[in-house]
Amino acid sequence: MSERQLQTNIKGLTGEIEVPGDKSISHRAVMFGALAEGKTTIHHFLAGEDCLSTIACFQQLGVAIRREGDYVEVDGKGLHGLKEPIGVLDVGNSGTTTRLMLGILAGVPIHTTLIGDDSIAKRPMGRVTVPLRSMGAKIDGREHGQFTPLSVRGGELKSIHYHSPVASAQVKSAIILAGLQAQGITKVTEPFTSRDHTERMLQAFGATIDIDQTTVSVQGGQRLKATAVYVPGDISSAAFFLAAGAIAPNSCIVLKNVGLNPTRTGIIDVLKQMGAQLTITNERVQNGEPIGDLTVETSELKGIEIGGDLIPRLIDEIPIISLLATQAHGKTVIKDAEELKVKETNRIDTVAIELTKLGADITTTADGLIIQGRTSLVSEHVQVDSHGDHRIGMMLAIAALVTSGDMKLKRSEAIHVSYPQFFEHVEVLSQ
For the annotated catalytic residues, the residue numbers are 316
Distance CA 41, CA 227 (A): 7
CA neighbor of 188 nearest in space, from 221, 158, 215: 215
CB 93 within 8 A of CB 117: yes
* Long-range contacts of the stretch 133-142 (C-beta < 8 A, 24+): 134/160, 134/162, 135/106, 135/159, 135/160, 135/175, 135/178, 135/179, 135/182, 135/186, 137/102, 137/106, 137/107, 137/178, 139/102, 139/106
How many residues make up the chain in this entry? 431
**End-to-end distance of the chain based on CA atoms, in angstroms?**
28
Distance of CA 294 to the CA centre of its chain: 19
C-alpha distance from residue 285 to each of 200, 269, 289 (Å): 12, 20, 5
CA neighbor of 218 nearest in space, from 194, 191, 198: 198
Distance CA 253, CA 296 (A): 5
In sequence order, the β-bridge partners of residue 365 are 368
68 contact partners, CB below 8 Å, separation of at least 6: none
Considering only CA atoms, give the Rg of the chain: 21
Distance CA 311, CA 305 (A): 11
Residue 4, preceding bond cis, omega within 30 degrees?
A: no
Distance CA 233, CA 265 (A): 13
CA neighbor of 22 nearest in space, from 256, 258, 204: 258
